[in-house]
Every structure is written in structure tokens, then in C-alpha cells.
Structure 1
Amino acid sequence: MQLKISRCVSKTLNNQHAKNTKLQTLHIILIIILSVISGRSVSAQETSKAIENKVKTLLSQMTLEEKVGQMTQVDIKVIGNIEKQHGRAEELIDPGKLKEAVVKRHVGSILNAPFTPNNEALSIETWRLMMRTVQEAAAKTRLKIPVIYGIDAIHGATYTQNAVLFPQAINMAATFNAELAFKEGEITAREVRASGLQWNFSTVMDIGRQPLWPRLWETFGEDVHLATVMGTSYIKGHQGDDFSAADKAPTCLKHYVGYSYPLNGKDRTPAWIGERVLREYFLPTFEAGIKAGSPTVMVNSAEVDGIPGHANYQYLTTILRGELGFKGIAVSDWADIERLYTRDKMAASPKEAVKIAVMAGVDMSMVPFDFSFYDLLIDLVKSGEVPMSRIDEAVSRILTVKYQAGLFDPKPLLPIAGNFATAEAIAANRQAARESIVLAKNDSHILPLKKDANILVAGPTANLLSTLNGGWTVTWQGAAEELYPQEKLTVLEAIKEKSDGKVTYVGGGSFDAPIDVQKVVDEARNHDVILLGLGEHPYTETPGNIETLNLDQVQVDLANAAMATGKPVILLTLGGRPRIITSIAERASGVILGFLPGMEGGEAIADILYGDYNPNGKLPISYPRNTNGITPYDYKPIESFESNVYDPLYPFGHGLSYTTFETSGLKVDKDKINQGENIVVNVNVKNTGALTGKEAVLVYINDVAASVTRPNKQLKAFKKVELNPGQTETLSFTLTPHDLSFIGVDLKRIVEPGDFKVMVGNETVGFTVTK
């Protein structure tokens, strides 16, 4: 308590902006003194009140230009010294450009990595020096308002060299392990802050229900509950109880809202989502992220039902602020305010685009390469088209987050040693990678392989680090293989390190390099098994748009040739989407779905191949059998009626182990409950095999009959347990009224009386909700 009180006193007494705050200061000090006397710590409400007073005082001193500057976010290229892009760290920022942006234009936020076409990762020492240079410029301004610097650290500190880079979100979801998501958040925040950066544009709370979408892998899968649990766990790890702490940082919920469900599957194209579906599937994750304390959201770059995200007052103000109670910053995505004019043809001019976005509820514009937003918004306020009250509202939100993040009273940077790329963090990353990999097929127990097996490795994904990591890794698109840390192991390299047999590789030095199919056929004669590495090259956003989920024909030809040899084939897929592998998987002896397991993914896959780790990942999506077979697991009754079927290649929740598990004894504590009551579910899970292993037990419910058609089942709880051979554990789950609720006819969340089913494994038990 003493340290907390000292910190609060320091923050209070060091307010450098107020001229008329003596009474406020005395009031806050009195609160602290009374807290000490009474033996209690300063409450969050009191801290919030103190920040509110500081914001009001600071806002009262600001000019229009200073306020609009706070609402302006520019790319680092605006302050960068392009000519010195490969020079010393102190030369990367142009002093004149920095002064223009921060001192003259009062810019409140900067983002991104400099300055090459790839925006590649920098050393931690370079980042620290650059961030110090930026904040030194802010300290020279009249009101000394610090800049908040944002970065897309979506699976670790992605733009800092040698950072611990975790599996991507789709893989983290496959772990069904919230503790790992929490740990990822902790480690990411620590390494982001050790780099000198302050604001992480993560985590993605969209749900991935359109497999063509090139950002599917940035989501926690297709299920609302799974995405909610994993996303909020990450936020809590990243922010802790106080994201002003030296090893914590604010998160940003992306991309509010409906972005992930484009009708044609292509990035930044229209989503057709009715309000009931929006409220049932797409809003709950964001609501949970807000309740978890995330203080910022980034706006949907596309449009929903004809309204671009940046122009949608209903979503940005009525729902986000009025219904969900969000009080933080709504920041635009890249150049999307200007696109209301250039792309969407909603605004007749760039000036009108700014007006539409600001009045809809956007607080900060990611411009990103000039000061056009700043100039246009000042004109709009002076002409009376945008009221000063709206500016004050937005700036108050921005200043509040800056105070909450401790930017006005910055703590010393964390020492690099002991806080960056530690052995403990790398071990946690490797465990996350192991738990994220899904063993989908294992005919005749082809896996695990014997260490002395002779293995022919073929295919474009087997010897690249980039295909393990995907986009937002070292560079934006993640494809610059030459920039990856060479001490990390590809799948091929990890296999060679473990193998006591012969390992031969037939493949190119890059994803697009030709593969000698005849050589694969010839070499197969001298090997016991073929590991076929297929999948996708790295990508994200619109560069990742595709026309079909089918694999490239060259990969299909390679697979057919490998199958024709008669040797057992193990198919390993890597990539961000479920590409169609049906004909290959049906003929393969084993199938491993790797997705994007991160920088430790090569070793994790080798651990599983050789049985040094018992796989336990489960699919967080339905893996389609065909290109148009994209029905999610929580389908409606009409989707499985007459000729309609749910027939994926592998269903949601599928995943094998080298041991076996059995659930039994499913029961509920009551046959009937009243509306508003909880119900407790118990089930036994037993390891019926010969090896120790982990199993994720998934609890589903079904509302038997309702006024709005209900899914056949919905995931409402899960728990992962580790069991020794023969060991049984009884798990208990509490289902709340919210778990039994849905969006009713009047678009309000309700629980209707009636019968419900609970499903775990092969068992079903029922109960009734009465009025």
C-alpha cells in the first residue's frame, strides 16, 4: 500500500499543467491521508476522479489546435529521416519533421515501424532511443502532453528484433488454454514496454466465421465463447490491474464491429449482417473486452449493411458508448476517414469525410502520412460544422488514456536483461506452440515416428520460418525470410536435430520455388515415410485476398505424386486459412494441422512428430471439406434438414492425442431452475490410454425450442486438464443465465422458459427453465 500511495502522491504533486488546481490537489491529498489513517488503499473510483480532474484542468488550457493535434495520429514516416533509414538510431528521426509534427501540429500519437518498404523490425536499443527522442520533443511543447506510440504487436513484440513471437491467435484458440493466452499477454506487454513502446493494437476480437477472409488467423476462431475467453485472458495478462505499470500496456480491440464476415471473403469488403446476428455473434466479444478493461478500440475498415464503419453513428456512439458503456478512445484504421471520400463515395469532399467520421464517434484519426485531418478538422470547428463539445469529448478520452497509461509520469524503462526474450518466456512460447497444433488423423498409429525412421521431407512450407509465423512478423506481410532470426528452427531443421535416421529434403529455397516432383518419387524409395509440407505463403489484409480455398495446383501435383509412391504420407499444413486438402487427407496416413504456430513452431511440430510431446490441440474452426462448405459448428436446424448437412472435413473441437480420453457421468444439479438462476454441470473425464496427456473438455448447450431459431449447440464452457494413464477427474461448470440467453424478437437479450440440453462428449442431459 505504501508504494501505491507514494506513486499517487507523486502523480498528484507533479501536475505541471494546472495553474488553478490547488483545491483539487488538496482534495486528493486529503483522500490519500484519510486512506492511510483508515488503513485502506486508494480506490479505483478515487483514482479515476483524480484523473478526471486533471483532464478537465488540462483541457481548459488547450487551444483548438492543441486539441485537434491530440486527435491526430501519423505514421513514423512523417517524422522519419528516409535518407538515413539504415543509419544510426539517432539519425532515424528527422529533428525538423519531428518538431513540425509534435511541436507545431501538436500530434498526439505516432504509429508503426520505420522506414523501409517492409517496415521491418528494429533492435530493442534502437526503439528505446527513438521513443526517448519522441517524448523529449513532446516535453518541449507548451503543455508537455506526451505522445502515445502505437504498434501492431499481435503475437508478441512483432516489430522488435528477437522478441518472443507466439503462435498466432487462431493457434492460441486451438490450445483451449486461457492460461496460455494470459501468459502471452503478460510477455507481450513486457517486451513492448521494454522496447519503449506504449500502446498495442491488439487483440483482435472479431470472430472468424468466413474462412476465405485473409485475417481469419488473427481471430480466436468461429465461436463466441472461445473468442471471449481467450481474448479477455490476453487482455488481463497484458494490462494487469494497472496498465501504467512498467511492464504493462493498454490494448486495443479490433476491429469494431462486423469486419470479419465479408460476404465475398475478401478483406475490406461489405458484410451483410442483420442487427440480431450482430448482437448475437459479433458484439459480445467486444463487450467482454470492454468489461475486461481494454481502453481503446479500432474501427472496422469495411462496411456493414451499407454503412462504413467510420461513418456508423449507431455502432460507434449509440451502441458502443450508450449500450456497452465504453469510455475510451475509438481510433480509426489506416487512412479510413479519407476513404469515406476516395473509396466509399459517402462524402463529397475530404472535409466532409472528416466531419462524418468525427460526428459518428471517431476520436483519433490514423491519417497516416500528412496533417490533412488536422487542418480540415480545425476548419470544421471554426465554421461551426463540428461543435467544440465533440472535440472536447474526444480529447478528454485521449488524455484520460494517457494518464491511465502513466505517460504523464513515466516510469524508468524496464532493464532489457531479465525482461526481454527470457528463457522462461521462450519456454512458455514453445508450450503454447505445442498445445496449438492439431493432430487430425493418425491411421494405424503412424505417429509418433521412431527416431531412426528415414524421412523424406517435401513441400513448400517445410523449410521456412515465415510459413510458421505469417503476417505481422518482423515485417507487415511477414514474408521477408532473410530477416528472420536464423537461430530459430524450421520444421526441417528441427526434424534433423531430433532424427537418428536419414532426413532428405526436396523443395525450393522459397515458397514459390519449383519442386522437382520426379526427385521426390525417386527419393521415396530410400525412405520409410514422406512428410508433406503444404499450405500458404505469409500474408495479411488485402494482399492475402484469394479467389478459392483450393490449394495451388503445383502442391496438389506434388501430393498426388507422393501418394503414388506407396510410401506412408504424413500431411502437415501451415498457413492462416483452412485450404482444401480433402483428397490428400483421405489418402494420407497422418494429418497435422499446424496453422501458424509461431517462432517455436518448428521445434513444437518435431516434438509431436517424434512423440516427445503428446498433442492436445483442438480445432477452433470447422475445417471445410469443400470450398463452399463453410457452415459453422453452431449451425441452425434448417442447415441440417433434408438434404442440408454439416459435413466438414474436421469439425470444430476435433483433435486427437497419442492417448485416449472418455467422458462419463454427465449430470446437472437440478432438473428445474427458475429464470435468473445458475445451474451446475458435472462430468467425469478419464485418461483411458497408456500415456499422460491433456484433454480439453467442451460443454455445449441447446435451447430446445425458442421464439428465435437456436443453434443445434453452442459452446458455453471448457476446461483443459492433464491426466495420467487411468486417472479420472470430475469437472464442475457453472452455467449462468447469460449462458442460456439469446437475442429475442425485440433485439433484447432474454432467457425464455423451456427445455435445455447440456452436451459433453457423447452424453446429453436435460433441464427445464421455469417462469
Structure 2
Amino acid sequence: MNVLKTLLIVLAVGTTTALTAQSKQQIPEVEALLKKMTLEEKIGQLNLLTPGGGVATGAVVSENVEAKIKAGNVGGLFGVASPEKMKMAQDIAVKNTRLGIPLLFGSDIIHGYKTTFPIPLGLSSSWDMELIKSTAQIAAKEATADGINWNFSPMVDISRDPRWGRISEGAGEDPFLGSAIARAMVTGYQGDDLTDVNTMLACVKHFALYGAIEGGRDYNSVDMSRVKMFNQYLAPYKAAIDAGAASVMTSFNDVDGIPATGNKWLLTDLLREQWGFEGFVVSDYTSLNEMIAHGLGDLQAVSALALKAGLDMDMVGEGFLSTLKKSLSEGKVTEAEITNACRRVLEAKYKLGLFNNPYAYIDETRPAKDILTAENRAVARKAAQRSFVLLKNENNILPLKKSAKIALVGPLADSQNNMLGTWAPTGDVKNAISIIDGFKNVAPNATINYAKGSNILDDEAMAAKINVFGPRVDISKESPETLLEEALAAAQKSDVVVAVVGEATEMSGEAASRTDISIPQAQKKLINALVATGKPVVLVLMSGRPLTISEEFDLPVSILQVWHPGVEAGNAVADVVFGDYNPSGKLTATWPRNVGQIPVYHSMKNTGRPAPTSEEFQKFRSNYLDAKNSPLLPFGYGLSYTSFKYSDIKVDKNVVASGEAVNVSVKVQNTGNFDGEEVVQLYLRDVVRSITPPGKQLKGFEKVFLKKGETKTITITLKPEDLKFYNSNLEFIAEPGDFEVFVGGDSDASLKATFELK
């Protein structure tokens, strides 16, 4: 009988506990298995491979995968999907190796599996934690139906530089909101019981600080103080760990001059010893090998460095597989370090229930009933609606009447290829609803006059860079002049123009950094020509990042930011444009006036020479000669078809004792003509403290629905830890003194109350 089955036949299904209640005690069954394993078998468990065939996240694809599995040299695979393929691979591991240790199957499921949701930056703009959690639950259910039990998500990197393409994959600039979303995603993926075949291992990434790379250039260096790390960047990672995240992925960047994949302070001192993480750590795609290019030695040297730092699994690079045995013989690593890494990988498999049933996630009946269902698509449509941010509504032109004559123009108006967004490798663009089809579905009585109007961009060399994963930028055989003439003709016979413009999906995302984050010139020309017709113009703006749209914002146009909305894109956009849903999204990343302002974010500190609040230029103050300090659009900003009035802010105590909570209440009234939702936001200012405080910090929010004319009193509780910060000694403390509380609809909130902490 298979040795693993002999070892584990006594296990009951219910004995595996969720990782949210981990014990520091070793798992007896894993320890018994470790005693039977050879050195080579232990090292084999540290090797994660991809056989290719899917969308890779690097230039390397593993070779001779089947032979390596048979040799016991593989702990997991990614880039494989479908129960049939999973069973073939698992059969090799379970039936054709000495100990029959099952494989993990991983995948990048960033914003949905086959049912693709809005990009994460868009999802974060909903400020709806239950909705975000439900998208993760659906992603887990669909992915596990195809045999995947480990997800390389959530990405929780804080980013304040929209030039970085991967800002699209995270929750924006704020650590408080980012922490809430990290918790929602981890609990959505992992549920309460990891042996439930609808749940999967979460992998929080990228640890750490990846979103702070210099110049917004992907894979670049990071350099910041520990105080800045702890106060502004690390919180979402810790929130994910505290929520029970089963695994952590290292980042490509360096931290204090040492690449994260080989950084002992990061992976052991902080992650395991300070935060108590007991899961396993995997490298990003070949990030172990890439430490050679960082300048830290050859493959053997960096592999030993990574193992000793606390890395447990090597993704694709095979540095562990090819060098650890030699390093052990030379005394550069210890067998205990190899065993500890192997133990953590095996414990994850145990907690998934794979030792009890290696085929638990392999069920050929599940895909047809669990993937891309009508119920799942309904959630995708809801999520997309709630992710949209109304940036401007010129003369209240929105919502449109469903009987209107509409010129629907723009290079993204009839493009299935650009609806899913970046990092949707498991999605299928053929399942996406285009904007034009959504308009026809939602407003069948409208007259739609369609014209492409322009290319996304006219630069063929740039288009080739963007089209790596398929035709995202399609340069028409018609001349730009002809395309524009067709759009103007459509506008002339219509009541209103809806122009769908912005970025193609792969103009943001990994390895898609941009120094110019404005709307491409070809589309700018189209927009200006449409405005010149005198017809009302609505811009439906798609992007994976904040854009610099000062020129467009100054035009007499309405602007609805829809990110890349996912599989239900067209239906959701039409729902909002025609008023079936009143937009409620709020920006989670500040929109700069131009790239010269970057970084600009809501929790910036005052200087010793702050600019005047009027923003009039003054010499010897911290301001620009050629632009205001304030951004074009602040964090938390978003309009509605209705309007909201804030009043009567109160704190329940003026003097607060250490360890006490503070309740802040405010009245919010819907003063407009539509029912709608508002995100009530609370910002805190520590007036005097031992290290310089931010001007404001988000410390609470609540999304509330108000009928037309309705008033509600909203109470948000500040917990004792919300008053704390990391001081210069990295102690997490609250200091006595005065605090100011601001409540409103964005980070410019001015309604203020005060209290004193004793």
C-alpha cells in the first residue's frame, strides 16, 4: 500500500483545521513523513514548476516536467487547468513516486477565474468589503472546480505611483483600506475550512514594498526608512497574515539593499518572528535566480542565501533543486533548514486535505455546474457597476434616456479584447460583453450610431509591445482621418455622444510602466473633435491606473471612469449610463494633474514651510511654479447622480482614556433627485506627536444607501489601535494629545470634531 495512505489512513476528514487557527505545534503526520524522506525528496518538495501552455509571468518555462515529477523533484505545478490535466499530473506524483506525495496546483487568479471581475483597483473603488469577499469566494469556487487549490492572490502592495503598471492589481494608496480589502480577499479564498473543496490557499504578495519602486519602473529598486515601511506600507501584508493567509510570495525588489527573496530580516525576523506567520513562502517567478543580476553571487550562492533567509519554495528557477545538495555538503546550508522548508510545504498540503484525498479537487462534474454560471455573472455585473467612479457630470447629462439617439464612438466601444483587464489569464475574451452590446441589451429602444473614431493609438511599434498576449491594440486599415470623419458623421445625427476611450488592457499591468499616463494622442484628437460639434459628450474612460486628464477635465464633458470592468463590462456600463444603477464608486488612488506631481497622495505630511491653503504661489514655500500642489482628483473622490449633505458631526467623548474607543457620528442627507449610495469616510489627524504626522489618515468608512430626501445618522468607531503609530523605535503606540476628526465624501473632508487622548 502507498506509504502516505498507510500513514494517514487513520485521519478523519474533520481533523484538518483552517489556517486562521494555526497552532505552533508540529503536525504528527507530517513529522512521520519527514522521517521517511530522503534529502533529495525533501529538496524536491521545494520546487515549483510550470509546464507552459498558459500565460507565463516570465520568460522561462520548465522542461522535462513529467520526468521530474516521477523523480520526486516537484512539490507543485502552476499554469495547468482542468480536472483531466490535474489528474494526469497527480497520478504521476501519487502512483509513480516512492512516497506518493501529492502536488499543489497553483494559478494567478487575480480578479476572478472564468467569471472575470473588474481589475482589483476597480474593485477597491467599490469600498464594499462584502462584495469584494464574494468575488474571491466565486473565484475560489470556479478555480477549484478546475482542480486549482492555491491562488497567487491577493496582491496587497500599496502604490502611490500610477506610472507603475501593477497599480492595477492592488487596492491603491491607502494602508487602512488596503488592509480591509486584504482581509476580505483572504477570507473569501480560504473560507473557514481549507478541506472544503470550494476553498483554496491564498498567497499574499508581493512581500514586500513592491509598489514603492523607484520611477514607477517595474522590477526596480525600493529604498525607504523602517518608519515609513511600518506606518505606510506593511499594514496590508500583516492584515492578510492575521486573517490566516496560508502562503506568502516574495517580491522582485530589494529591501534595505537585499532582494526580498533572500532577505532574512523580511522573511524570518519580521514575517515569522514578529508577525507569527506559520505558512510557507514562495519566490516570485525566477526571483531567486534574478538575485544573480542584482549582484549577490552565482546560483548556488543566492539559493543558499534564500533558503537561510526563510524561502521555502522556488518558483521555476530550480536553484534549490540544482544546488542545495552541494551547498549542504560544503556546509553553506544545514539539513535542518532544508527540512524546515519542506515541513512548511507539506503542512500546507496536509491542511488542504490532500494527504487524506489527493484527488479532492479533481472532479470532472464540477466545471459545468460551477464555472461562469448565471449567478456568478450577476455578481460580476454588480461588482462592475459599483466599481465605476463618476468623475464629472457636465450639466447633469447623465443618466441618459433609453430612447435617446446616441453616437457610440471610440476604439474601446466595440472591443471584447479589452474588457477583462490585465492579469486575467484564466478568462476568455469571447465571454466578455462589449460596450455596444451592453447598450443594445439595456436600452433596446435607443438609436445607436456606432463609429470607431480612432485607434487606441497610431504607433505600430508601441502596439506591438502591448499586443504580447493578443490583439489589444488594433490599428485600422482605414486612415485616422477617415475614422474621425465617420465619428463626426455619427455625432451629427445623434442627440448625445458617448465616447469609450482610454487604455488597452496591456497598457497597464506587469511590465507595463508608462512615463506618459495621459490619454493617447489619437484619442485626444477624437475627443476634441467631438466636443467641437457642440453635442453633449460623455467620456466612458477605461484604464488600469489613474491617468493625467487635466485637458479632458477642462472640456465641457461628463466623465465616467470604468477601469477595465470584466466579463459583464458592457451590461454594467449601460446600467450606469442609463440610470439603472446610480454610480457610487470612490477613487482609491489620487489622480495627479501631471506626472511631475508624482507621488501625490492624501496622507502626505506638512513641511516646515507648507504652501498656503489658497494655493496661491508664495516664494520660500513648498509649492510648484507651474502647478498647484493639490491633485486633479483627491483620494476618496466620486460623484453620484444625486447629492449628499454632511452635518452635525459629534464625538461621544471629548476626553478619551488610553484603551478606549471613540464613536464619531455624522448626519448624511440625500439632497438630490435620485436614490443613491455614499461612502462616508473618516480621516484622523494626530496634531502633535513624536514623529511628524500625516496631514490626514483614513481610519474608517461606511457605505450607506439613502433614498431621495432621506437622512441617516452614521456612526463610525475609532478603535484604540486606530490612534496608534510606529514611533522612531518601531514601537506601536498612541501618544497623549489632541486629535482632529474629519468626515466627508472624500479626503478633502472639512467637517471637523476634536478630542483629547489622556
For the aligned pair, the TM-score class normalised by the smaller chain equals 0.7 to 0.9
Give the CA deviation at 1:423: 2.1
Of the structure 1 ranges 654-663 and 54-63, higher mean CA displacement relative to structure 2 is found in: 654-663
SS of the equivalent of 2:216 reads coil
Correspondence for 1:58: 33
Letter in 1 for 2:415: L
Give the CA deviation at 1:464: 1.5
Give the CA deviation at 1:543: 3.5
Cα–Cα, structure 1 residues 176 and 563, in superposed 2: closer, same or farther, change >3 Å?
A: same
Which deviations, in whole Å up to 9, do the C-alpha atoms of 1:517-544 show, x marking residues without a partner?
2332333222222222221112255531
TM alignment of 1:617-636, pairs within 5 A: 617-630=585-598, 631-636=600-605
Correspondence for 1:506: 451
2:363 is equivalent to residue 363 of structure 1: no
2:98 is equivalent to residue 153 of structure 1: no
Cα–Cα, structure 1 residues 767 and 59, in superposed 2: closer, same or farther, change >3 Å?
A: same
Distance 1:205 1:600 in 2: 25
User: Structure 1 stretches of 5 or more lacking a match?
Assistant: 1-12, 33-40, 83-92, 114-121, 158-162
Which deviations, in whole Å up to 9, do the C-alpha atoms of 1:285-332 show, x marking residues without a partner?
111100100010110112234221112111111111111111111100
Letter in 1 for 2:486: K
2:100 is equivalent to residue 138 of structure 1: no
TM normalised by structure 1 equals 0.87
2:73 is equivalent to residue 106 of structure 1: yes
Task: Answer yes or no: is the 8 Å Cα contact 2:540–2:562 preserved in 1.
Answer: yes
TM alignment of 1:393-472, pairs within 5 A: 393-410=340-357, 411=360, 413=362, 415-472=366-423
Task: Answer yes or no: is the 8 Å Cα contact 1:332–1:366 preserved in 2.
Answer: yes
Q: Among residues 268, 273, 282, which one is paired with 1:317 in the alignment?
A: 268
Letter in 1 for 2:630: D
SS of the equivalent of 2:579 reads coil
Distance 1:440 1:81 in 2: 37
Correspondence for 1:5: none
TM alignment of 1:681-692, pairs within 5 A: 681-692=664-675
Q: Among residues 486, 490, 494, which one is paired with 1:527 in the alignment?
A: 494
Distance 1:689 1:14 in 2: 70
Give the CA deviation at 1:646: 4.0
Task: Answer yes or no: is the 8 Å Cα contact 2:167–2:509 preserved in 1.
Answer: no
Cα–Cα, structure 1 residues 690 and 577, in superposed 2: closer, same or farther, change >3 Å?
A: same
Correspondence for 2:58: none
Q: Among residues 751, 755, 758, which one is paired with 1:767 in the alignment?
A: 755
Correspondence for 1:549: 517
Cα–Cα, structure 1 residues 375 and 396, in superposed 2: closer, same or farther, change >3 Å?
A: same
Task: Answer yes or no: is the 8 Å Cα contact 2:153–2:204 preserved in 1.
Answer: yes
Correspondence for 1:199: 150
Correspondence for 1:702: 685
Give the CA deviation at 1:757: 0.9
Q: Among residues 670, 674, 689, which one is paired with 2:653 in the alignment?
A: 670
Give the CA deviation at 1:612: 1.3
Q: Among residues 737, 751, 757, which one is paired with 1:754 in the alignment?
A: 737
TM alignment of 1:210-289, pairs within 5 A: 210-289=161-240
2:296 is equivalent to residue 346 of structure 1: yes
Task: Answer yes or no: is the 8 Å Cα contact 1:98–1:137 preserved in 2.
Answer: no
Task: Answer yes or no: is the 8 Å Cα contact 2:189–2:202 preserved in 1.
Answer: yes
Whose relative contact order is higher, 1 or 2, with alpha carbons under 8 Å and at least 6 apart?
Answer: 2
Distance 2:683 2:319 in 1: 51
Distance 1:42 1:296 in 2: 16
TM alignment of 1:593-672, pairs within 5 A: 593-630=561-598, 631-638=600-607, 640-641=610-611, 642-644=621-623, 646-672=629-655
Which deviations, in whole Å up to 9, do the C-alpha atoms of 1:659-707 show, x marking residues without a partner?
2222222211111112222112222222222322111111111101111
Aligned alpha-carbon RMSD (Å): 2.7
Task: Answer yes or no: is the 8 Å Cα contact 2:420–2:429 preserved in 1.
Answer: no
User: What is the aligned length?
Assistant: 703
Distance 1:435 1:108 in 2: 40
Give the CA deviation at 1:432: 0.7
Task: Answer yes or no: is the 8 Å Cα contact 1:467–1:575 preserved in 2.
Answer: no
User: Structure 2 stretches of 5 or more lacking a match?
Assistant: 56-60, 456-471, 612-620, 745-749
Distance 1:81 1:417 in 2: 21
Distance 2:499 2:204 in 1: 37
Distance 1:204 1:169 in 2: 9
2:545 is equivalent to residue 583 of structure 1: no
Cα–Cα, structure 1 residues 463 and 51, in superposed 2: closer, same or farther, change >3 Å?
A: farther
Correspondence for 1:484: 429
Cα–Cα, structure 1 residues 686 and 412, in superposed 2: closer, same or farther, change >3 Å?
A: same
Cα–Cα, structure 1 residues 412 and 253, in superposed 2: closer, same or farther, change >3 Å?
A: closer
Letter in 1 for 2:154: T
Task: Answer yes or no: is the 8 Å Cα contact 1:755–1:767 preserved in 2.
Answer: yes
Letter in 1 for 2:649: L
Letter in 1 for 2:484: V
Letter in 2 for 1:57: A
SS of the equivalent of 1:252 reads strand
Give the CA deviation at 1:413: 4.5
Distance 1:542 1:523 in 2: 37
